[in-house]
Amino acid sequence: MFNRLKNQLDTVTNAGPTQKNAVIRVIGDRASGKTTYMAALARFPHAASNSLIQSITSVNDDGNELISKAQNLLEQGLELEPTDLTANTEDISDYQLSITLNGQSRLKGAGGAPIQLNISCKDYAGEFFSDLLFRDRDPKLADYLEDCAQATGIMFLIDGSAQRKDAEYAAALDKFLKALSNTSQTSQLKRIAFVLTKCELPDLWIKRHQPEQLAQAKFKQVCTKLRAWKSTTKGNIDFFTTSAFGVVGTRFPEANSKQQSRDRGGVTSILQDPQHWKPFGLVSPIYWLCTGDRHQKLDEE
């Protein structure tokens, strides 16, 4: 009888997709593309029928708001407004999304079953990374760090063309990691994903399948800091190339973006062709943050 019960339980657990969860915080400089990344992810436009990603659904109002932003702004050729540094960390939008991958995920132990990645994700205003972190006595900083300490994974977004700010980013990252380790809560942080954005640009697109080399070439000091963190905390790091706007065309792909400005901090662009909008690589870092694994097929999408 016990065997029968056990078999029944097994059947029940095998019926649904394997669930993997993560609490994610997205940090990075102003205009690095954090909210645009989230909006493109939530919108999930023009998925290919043979995509590994079956669906992306928003679970809460904030998540739905991302989809609105994608439709009303990005698809209309407008830039998203900069995210505000809120007075209260409770006011930070908390995007809850559920990403379902079909059964080719090959995750150990999943046995070919679909996987569902459930994330609760907050993207902090760029001001947090570039200003607040350095204002030690500002009470807001403590609030943000406490909020951040709940994260199991961090996505550190950097505009792929902002290599001239390598030293500044390394300093800010250093400050951030030290401050995080000093918060009252024990940090749950296991993984930091170094995510290069705007990789639809020609010189980045060419190297999109070598994210670690590209990151190392352009952001040497940041990589050094991350590796140091890895060795001292036993946390894990990995590198990703992404593009919220993606490219158009298969034989000779072109960036699906129109540049608005370029300076030391990188490039700002708008979506060029909404009818053929297909982001690149957005799910890969999330998969890794949730599972600790990389999936080759996801890395190529």
Partner 1 sequence: MGVIYVGDRAVGKTHLALELANPYGQNVKVLQPDYENLKSFLVSDADSTKPTEGIDFRFLEIQAQLPAGSKSVTVDWVDTPGEIWRESWQKNNPDEWQSFLENSRKSEGILLILNPYRETLQGSMASDYSTQQQWCKRFEKWVDFFRYDCPKARHIVICLNKADLFVDNLEQEASKLAFDPNGSAMTWRKRHSYILQKYFRPIQGQIEQINKSTRGLSVQCFITSIYNRPLLELPWIYLASFLSKY
Partner 2 sequence: MGNIRIIGPRGSGKTSYLAALAYWPDQQRRGKKKKGVKLQSLNDETRDLAEKAENIILEGESLEPTTVEGGIDALPFYSFGIEVKPRFQKPELINVAVRDYPGEIFEELANPASANPLHQEFVDECLEESVDGCLILLADWDKSTDKFTSRALSKFTKQMDIHNRVNNLRVAIAMSKCERGELWPGRLEPSIDLFQQHLPKTLATLEQSISSKNLRFYAISTFGVLGRNDPRPNREDVIGTGGTNSVLREPNQWKPYGLLEPLYWLSKGKRLGYV
Tokens of 141: 């900083």
- DSSP class of residue 17? P
**Contacts of partner 1 in 52-111 (CB under 8 A):** 61-62, 64-65, 67-68, 70-73, 75-78, 81-82
Q: Indicate whether 46 belongs to the interface with partner 1 (CB under 8 A).
A: no
Q: Which does residue 10 bind out of partner 1, partner 2, none, counting CB within 5 to 8 angstroms by kind?
A: none
- Among 7, 55, 213, 260, contact with partner 2 (rule: CB under 8 A): 213
Q: What part of residues 251-270 is at the interface with partner 2 (CB under 8 A)?
A: 251-255, 258, 262-264
Exactly one of 201, 237, 271, 290 binds partner 2 (CB under 8 A); that residue is: 201
CA distance 163 to 73: 28
Q: Is 259 in the site for partner 1 (CB under 8 A)?
A: no
Measured CA distances, 161 to 16, 215, 227, 241, 247 (Å): 42, 11, 21, 12, 17
Q: Of the candidates 87, 94, 90, 103, which has an alpha carbon nearest to the alpha carbon of residue 17?
A: 103
Dihedral in degrees, nearest 10, Cα atoms 169, 138, 22, 219: 0
Question: Applying CB under 8 A, what is the total number of residues that bind partner 2?
Answer: 22
Binders in 178-197 for partner 1, by CB under 8 A = none
Q: Which residue has the tokens 């019926």?
A: 15
Q: Which is nearer to partner 1, 68 or 232 (CB)?
A: 68
232-251 residues in contact with partner 2 (CB under 8 A) are 251
Task: Please provide the distance, in angstroms rounded to a whole number, between the alpha carbons at the two ends of the chain.
Answer: 47
Q: Return the closest-CA partner of residue 242 out of 276, 195, 293.
A: 195
Beta carbon nearer to partner 1, 66 or 101:
66
Binding residue count for partner 1, defined by CB under 8 A: 22
| Partner that binds at residue 77, options partner 1, partner 2, none, CB closer than 5 to 8 Å by kind | partner 1
213 binds, among partner 2, partner 1, none (CB under 5 to 8 A by kind): partner 2
227 is a contact residue toward partner 2 (CB under 8 A): no
Q: Which is nearer to partner 2, 148 or 226 (CB)?
A: 226
The β-bridge relationship of strands 257-263 and 254-255 is: unpaired
Please give the residues from 160 up to 189 whose contact with partner 2 meets the rule CB under 8 A: 163-164
d(CA 221, CA 233): 18
Q: What angle, rounded to 10 degrees, do the helices at 34-43 and 61-72 form?
A: 100
Return the half-sphere exposure (C-beta side, CA atoms, 13 A cut-off) of residue 299.
Answer: 14
- The Cβ of residue 262 has, within 10 Å, a number of other Cβ atoms equal to 12
Residue 30's binding partner, choosing from partner 2, partner 1, none, with beta-carbon cut-off 5 to 8 A by kind?
partner 1
Residues that bind partner 2 (CB under 8 A): 163-164, 201-203, 205-207, 213-214, 216-218, 251-255, 258, 262-264
Residues that bind partner 1 (CB under 8 A): 30-31, 61-62, 64-65, 67-68, 70-73, 75-78, 81-82, 261, 270, 274-275
